[in-house]
Structure 1
Amino acid sequence: MTFKINLICLYTIFRLLNTSQEFDSHSNHKLTNEQLEKVKHEEREIEVSHKELNNQALINAPIITQFPELARGCEVTSLAMLLQFAGVEVDKMTLAEEIPKVPFLNNGIYGNPNEGFVGNIYTFNEPGYAVYHQPIEELAKSYLPDQIINISGSEFDVVKEYLLSGNPVWVIVTSTFNKLPKEAWQTWETESGEINITMKEHSVLLTGFDQEYIYFNDPFKTEKNSKVEIGKFLAGWKQLGQQAITLKISDNLLDIEK
């Protein structure tokens, strides 16, 4: 961190002095907006290069707890964190109301989390399960139609690129943040066919990583940036299909990364 700050500060001073000399006779020592933007762009390039060199990231994203209002609302609460990070003024209760719902069980047929939230999202007094990435993506796009990207099924290297760009990532993972044994799984017959599910399912917002840990905002907690060993977390994430949704990387940052 000290290296990055010192490097950026020294580089910025050099660029400001150099640019001032270049335009001294015309600007009376005042930089134009175009010159300032050029300096900012070059600062950002250094920051991105530094992050990639160190292969780590940590994002300051909102933390929201799902309790006590949403007993099973981890998915919409984590989505609320992502949307609020992007500047959208929406709360978890609004998202809980808007997410599509399907019955938990109807004539021996279970609801499908790929179609909506299964059962009751508000209380443990009635049966319920979860909702997967497709309905979450659709709900997110109703607020940010041109900024949401579903990267479910991608390897973690892709997720890391978005974290390095400064974008937190909504994911679904096992509630143990580790690989679950076979006995933790069950097969449901749904209208769309059989699916394997586990009641040890959870959703969090990824905020960073380093060589040892993955960092995330957990709707079970009130503190930011919980951490779990990378290998354990990825094992649980892969078991649930590597589900992940985030914000598109801005064009300016894509230009820098190229």
Structure 2
Amino acid sequence: MPSQGRVFALMLLIVFFCIMLVLGETGLVEVVGNSRVDPEDHPQQDLQQENPIKQNSIKQYINHVFDGPDVEKKLSAPHIRQLPELPNGCEVTSLTMLLRDAGVVTDKMKLAGEMKKVPFQAGRYMGNPNEGFVGNMYRGDRNHPGFAVYHGPVAELAEKYLGNRVHDFSGSSWTDVEKEISSGNPVWIITSIHFRPVPDSAWRNWHTEEGDMRITFQEHSVLVTGYDREHIFFNDPLADHEGSQSEKAAFIEAWEQFGHQAISIR
């Protein structure tokens, strides 16, 4: 819902527009083109910038007031730790937080059992995280390697519980993530384990049956719950509490490295 400040701003805007419309119709006010404006002092380009109502419809102004996310927003959502049971289960644990926030009674171990899985390696092919969780979610050693699962299988599992309420908007911009949070919906995402861009040296070629892809083991999943001008707030399944935070620009850049993956519940 729009904030009270936005509703008040809209009301003022409508009143102002109506007054200007009435005065313009009666000829009492004519800002552009009469003797009160000197074109030499106010080039047309400047006039267009200073008088946007002349250039935009009231509908565009209403959209400007309502469509953008709030400058800052913080939500509260359930926090669940992935350890000790799921050392490789950040994606499933973050999904559990997302579903719990939407009122679904479930737990991380149940979802871990229901998540699609593919072998870490089968012959000359590595597992594809777009097809299911790659490897072992329950062990964290070299004898039982595990990697990750991406948004497709995660959204598919969420849809078993909430159907078309699940909104997989992976590939969208970060502004869309903030719009979801501004609307009261926390967002499941994939970013880096350190919440900053992963260096090129940490990426590797990953040869899957569906084709080659670049992956890094510095991948991590969290539930984003808020933002302001400088920070992102989130529930980290590796943390002991809700409301972790990170520097905004670095966090977003890392999120973009992993393909803008994002899921919410509407």
TM-score range, shorter chain: 0.7 to 0.9
Are positions 1:212 and 2:230 aligned together?
yes
In 2, the alpha carbon distance for the partners of 1:156 and 1:190 equals: 29
Name the residue aligned to 1:80. 96
Following superposition, the deviation at residue 146 of structure 1 comes to 2.2
Residue deviations 1:22-80 (CA, integer Å, cap 9, x gap) = xxxxxxxxxxxxxxxxxxxxxxxxxxx89x68511101100000000001000000000
Name the residue aligned to 1:165. 183
Residue deviations 1:188-234 (CA, integer Å, cap 9, x gap) = 11010001100000000000000110000000012111111110101
Provide closer, same or farther for how the CA distance between residues 54 and 158 of structure 1 changes in structure 2, counting only shifts above 3 A: closer
In 1, the alpha carbon distance for the partners of 2:165 and 2:69 equals: 27
Are positions 1:132 and 2:130 aligned together?
no
Name the residue aligned to 1:221. 239
Tell me, yes or no, if the aligned pair for 2:69 and 2:179 is still in contact at 8 Å.
no
Greater Rg by CA: 2
- Report how many residues are paired: 205
Name the residue aligned to 2:218. 200
In 2, the alpha carbon distance for the partners of 1:242 and 1:54 equals: 20
1:191 to 209, 212, 220: 209
Are positions 1:90 and 2:130 aligned together?
no
In 1, the alpha carbon distance for the partners of 2:252 and 2:154 equals: 21
In 1, the alpha carbon distance for the partners of 2:116 and 2:89 equals: 13
TM-score (norm 1): 0.76
Q: Which amino acid aligns with 1:218?
A: D
Provide closer, same or farther for how the CA distance between residues 101 and 211 of structure 1 changes in structure 2, counting only shifts above 3 A: same
Name the residue aligned to 2:41. none
Tell me, yes or no, if the aligned pair for 2:70 and 2:182 is still in contact at 8 Å.
no
Q: Partner of 2:77: helix, strand, or coil?
A: coil
In 1, the alpha carbon distance for the partners of 2:227 and 2:199 equals: 26
Provide closer, same or farther for how the CA distance between residues 107 and 54 of structure 1 changes in structure 2, counting only shifts above 3 A: closer
1:120 to 136, 141, 151: 136
Q: Which runs of 4+ in 1 moved over 4 A?
A: none
Q: Which amino acid aligns with 2:157?
A: L
Q: Partner of 2:164: helix, strand, or coil?
A: coil
Name the residue aligned to 2:192. 174
Residue deviations 1:141-195 (CA, integer Å, cap 9, x gap) = 0000021010101001111110000100000001111111111000011010001
Following superposition, the deviation at residue 108 of structure 1 comes to 1.8
In 2, the alpha carbon distance for the partners of 1:221 and 1:188 equals: 29
1:156 to 158, 162, 174: 174
In 2, the alpha carbon distance for the partners of 1:53 and 1:192 equals: 37
Tell me, yes or no, if the aligned pair for 2:187 and 2:264 is still in contact at 8 Å.
yes
Are positions 1:232 and 2:232 aligned together?
no
Q: Partner of 1:144: helix, strand, or coil?
A: helix
Unaligned runs of 5+ in 1: 9-48, 249-258
Following superposition, the deviation at residue 106 of structure 1 comes to 1.2
Name the residue aligned to 2:53. none
After TM superposition, the structure 1 = structure 2 runs for residues 21-60 of structure 1, keeping only pairs within 5 Å, are: 55-60=71-76
Are positions 1:145 and 2:163 aligned together?
yes
In 2, the alpha carbon distance for the partners of 1:232 and 1:113 equals: 24
Q: Partner of 2:84: helix, strand, or coil?
A: coil
